Amino acid sequence: MDAMSEARGEAHGDGDVGTLMQAIGTRARAAARRLARAPESGKNAALAAMAENLRKAAPEILARNAEDVALAREAGQNAAYLDRLSLDAARIGAIAAAVEAIAALPDPVGRVLAGFERPNGLKIERVATPLGVIGVIFESRPNVTADAGALCLKAGNAAILRAGSDSLGTAMAMAQAMRAGLAEAGLPEDAVQIVPTRDRAAVGAMLTGLQGCIDVIVPRGGKSLVARVQEEARVPVFAHLEGICHVFVHGDADLAMARAIVKNAKLRRTGVCGAAETLLVDEACAQTHLAPLVTMLLDAGCAVRGDEPTCAVDPRVTPAKDADWDTEYLDAIIAVRVVAGLDGALEHIARHSSAHTESIITQDEAAAQRFLAEVDSAIVMHNASTQFADGGEFGFGAEIGIATGRMHARGPVGVEQLTSFKYRVCGTGQTRP
Amino acid sequence: MDAMSEARGEAHGDGDVGTLMQAIGTRARAAARRLARAPESGKNAALAAMAENLRKAAPEILARNAEDVALAREAGQNAAYLDRLSLDAARIGAIAAAVEAIAALPDPVGRVLAGFERPNGLKIERVATPLGVIGVIFESRPNVTADAGALCLKAGNAAILRAGSDSLGTAMAMAQAMRAGLAEAGLPEDAVQIVPTRDRAAVGAMLTGLQGCIDVIVPRGGKSLVARVQEEARVPVFAHLEGICHVFVHGDADLAMARAIVKNAKLRRTGVCGAAETLLVDEACAQTHLAPLVTMLLDAGCAVRGDEPTCAVDPRVTPAKDADWDTEYLDAIIAVRVVAGLDGALEHIARHSSAHTESIITQDEAAAQRFLAEVDSAIVMHNASTQFADGGEFGFGAEIGIATGRMHARGPVGVEQLTSFKYRVCGTGQTRP
């Protein structure tokens, strides 16, 4: 019984979910073994066929999506939620195009990451290989099914996708089209599997790793989902819990540049993880820079919560509470503080950053180098907006998420970070003395 | 109270161990933050001072070691165990020299792993950083204290070292010398901490990660230790459970080369993880190659457990049981089987390998390439002995162990694999459209 036919039944008691999930894991591992040997041409053919089938299946996908949206509306979800959940022909076209863009990326598997010849003549190479099986747990956005499935496939990995309850019908219709594309290209359908039940026990099962059948979990969704995954997962997790990103305007910052970057970092889009949440202004330039920056933010419609010097700038500033320095607003709100030079900024960031992205604005190269070296975040920037914290902007083509951990992947997780490696040792009969 | 002064008390109730370990973790994290900023010259000065202090402290270390050995002897440990535990002046000299060799390695921190310029002018670099805090859990060999502490330090990491109960006194004397070296070089002493209690609850505490204070655990010891760590750890583990390494003599193998490699792979040292445990012989050359290989092994004193064709070669061969294909003998015993070509070998290896090291002997380049591509092990070899599976032989200078997982580190784990990375983004005022 495959995942799709099981899905039609969809009645699973608690025990059944464990059995169902283990079967999905076992099939994923078997598919991953086959994918690891798939040539680039085969993977790209499958991605092209997936995109084509997504377009062809648009009527079926839209029908299932309409059912999902209707149920979510009945359940009282708000307009923003319903918009995230909703597909139309144009969105399906964009989803298919994104799959084709992933097909066009260079194959991350087989890259020679390092090579060296030993004095005894052994040639040793470190070569990129697929990671194996990737479990993706997401919420309402249906595009994740295609994005994540395609990214995993490009890197030779099998994907187990757990959609949010509200988008399960849509996700299954999309996955069916993608699986057909895999089959057409001669690759295992089980390279992309949707968990075909809304039972929350399925998430718990994935977090155990399904007895070694899942190598890594990627949560895509809100903070409570990520927190649960990070807390409970027994396998590695690529994720960031939050993006409390800082912009530090150093004493030697150019004011015009600072104004442009701060505005962009905070307000270009406030709901993304790379949006700035805290502005630190060096006391050395507070006299000249603080008021213009704060006024610019306020005039642009941003609420400002400030320390004492910041409150003194404008009556619209409200006093910051301790919690503000640790808050990811994801909204047009910013916390602003004057700090004692680079050291003050480094100290504040070490205490309050979520290790996602921090930027220094300065014309002082030495200060910039210290900031880049000493801030322990996945992404550190000099004279650039934190909103560039994105796989696409990094040139990765696409990303499955941004990771703030230090193991394996860090920063935007693109196809290269979805690989592992092995050592190839070529000899001519060498034995070890 | 530092680790050393706590150690002198050494009376810890169960609750105390948790508190003690958390304090060690917190100190390690603070030390790691300082180490991350330490220049290469500072780390190397500390390593040189560590080596020097280990030599100077030899009388104290040997006195503590004599106590450890006496207790182990009273406890009935065998001669091989007592030998592993015992130090003398020459061994301490070798340990100090190994620390100096680690100092001489290139600094793995700060390496630019990738660099690219975006169309908007942003310069993005992926730069190696320390991993953070590494927990090492080992058994009787006292040299691990120095080796592991020095390797971690070279990569800018703090180390929490849990020595085996039998070697705790020795390990603490060595660590004291190393900590003095750190202090002399102006680096935090807590970059190297020994868990100052024999209480086994300390291991359990380490495996929880000490509330985010340990980034990775490295077990160094027998299979039961590694199995427990892999089973219970809530943080990533760099390890291999066992090395069931295969040598496959392909139909196009040169017999003389096969004989030399098989002999070396099995018998050079039988107790190392890279020792071959199973010999697969292609049916295509069994007629000519099987008997000479088996006779060579038997004549060299190796017990052979074979399938039917192998048993037919020589009466000294005993029939292999199913379990033999999954056994790491670590002894002069080998399992031998005739397989149906490359596909038969790949199938056997996929089922029975521990993903450590496998080697193909062949003059057929295409067969070699398929083997290297399709065998999913940390190290794959062509015409070379599996006993080269070693960080020193790979040119890494030293290794903290060999990992068979696919996350972050794989194969020999040298200083480069003890690093993470971050992205440095340098702009000239770019904002995101």
pLDDT in tens, A291-319: 999 999 999 999 999 999 999 999 999 99
Q: Would the CB atoms of B423 and A394 count as touching at under 8 Å?
A: yes
Secondary structure of residue B357 in the 3-state scheme: strand
Per residue in B203-262, pLDDT tens?
Answer: 999 999 999 999 999 999 889 999 999 999 989 999 999 999 999 999 999 999 999 999
The alpha carbon of residue B262 is apart from the nearest alpha carbon of chain A, in Å, by: 9
Q: Do B394 and A118 touch (CB under 8 A)?
A: yes
Q: How many domains in chain A?
A: 2
Tell whether the model's pLDDT for residue B34 goes beyond 50.
Answer: yes
Same domain, residue pair A285 and A220: no
Q: Looking at the structure, do residues B285 and B210 belong to the same domain, yes or no?
A: no
Min distance B129 CA to chain A CA atoms (Å): 9
Residues A37, B383: C-beta atoms closer than 8 Å:
no
In a domain? residue A422: no
Q: Are residues A145 and A107 in the same domain?
A: yes
pLDDT per position as a tens digit, A337-373: 999 999 999 999 999 999 999 999 999 999 999 999 9
Closest partner CB to B379 (pick from A359, A423, A429): A423
Q: Which residues of A touch B373 (CB under 8 A)?
A: 37
- Which one of B120, B272, B432 would you mutate to disrupt binding with A, by most A Cβ within 10 Å of its Cβ? B432
Query: Which one of A129, A215, A384 has the shortest CB-CB distance to B430?
Result: A384
The pLDDT value recorded for residue B348 is 98
Per-residue model confidence (pLDDT) at position B299: 98
Residue A128 has phi, psi (to 5 degrees) of: -70, 135
Asked if B206 and B95 sit in the same domain, the reply is yes
Residues B53 and B130 in one domain: yes
Q: Does residue A23 form part of some domain?
A: yes
Domain contains A227? yes
Q: Residue B14's pLDDT band (boundaries 50, 70, 90)?
A: low
Task: Name every residue whose Cβ is closer than 8 Å to that of residue B79 and which is 6 or more positions away in sequence.
Answer: none
Of B33, B378, B393, which has the smallest distance from its Cβ to A432's Cβ? Answer: B393
Closest Cβ–Cβ partner in B215, B377, B387 for A406 = B215
The token pair at B6 is 């706590």
**What is the average per-residue pLDDT within B25-50?**
96
Query: Which range of residues forms the domain containing residue A10?
Result: 3-232
| Same structural domain, A253 and A200 | no
- Which chain A residue has the Cα nearest residue B274? A432
Which chain B residues touch A155 with a CB distance below 8 Å? none
Size of interface A-B (CB pairs under 8 A): 188
Identify all chain A residues contacting B428, using CB atoms and an 8 Å cutoff: 383
CATH of the domain at A133: 3.40.605.10
In a domain, A402, yes or no: no
Asked whether residue A237 is domain-assigned, the answer is no
Residue B233: strand pairing partners: none
Give the H/E segment covering residue A419: strand A419-430
Query: What one-character-per-residue DSSP string does A95-112 give?
Result: HHHHHHHHHTSPP-TT-E
The predicted complex's ipTM stands at 0.93
Same domain? A253 vs A199: no
Picking from B176, B209, B232, the residue at the C-terminal end of a domain is B232
Handedness of CA A332, A337, A338, A340 (dihedral sign): negative
B217 in the same domain as B254: no
* Subunit contact B425:A37, Cβ cutoff 8 A: no
Domain ends where: B232, B265, B296?
B232
Main-chain dihedrals φ then ψ at residue B274, nearest 5 degrees: -85, 5
Residue B305 domain-assigned? yes
Same domain, B58 and B176: yes
Q: Are residues B49 and B117 in the same domain?
A: yes
Domain boundary among A176, A198, A232: A232
Does B425 fall in a domain?
no
B186, B254: one domain: no
For B176, the enclosing helix (H) or strand (E) is helix B168-184
CATH code, domain carrying B325? 3.40.309.10
Instruction: Please give the structure tokens belonging to residue A266.
Output: 């905070």
CB contact under 8 A, A426 and B383: yes
% of chain B beyond a pLDDT of 70:
97
Pairwise CB contact (< 8 Å): B118 & A393 = yes
Mean pLDDT of chain B: 94
φ/ψ of A334, rounded to 5, equals -140, 145
pLDDT tens, position by position, A48-84: 999 999 999 999 999 999 999 999 999 999 998 999 9
* A131 Cα to chain B: minimum distance (Å): 6
Long-range contacts of A294-302 (CB under 8 A, 24+ apart): A294/A336, A296/A259, A296/A262, A296/A263, A297/A262, A297/A263, A297/A266, A297/A267, A297/A334, A297/A336, A300/A263, A300/A267, A301/A267, A301/A332, A302/A266, A302/A267, A302/A332, A302/A333, A302/A334
Residue A142 forms part of a structural domain: yes
Tokens 């260079």 found at: A106
Domain match, B212 and B261 both: no
Q: Which of B350, B372, B407 sits opposite A215 (nearest CB)?
A: B407
pLDDT in tens, A205-257: 999 999 999 999 999 988 999 999 999 998 999 999 999 999 999 999 999 99
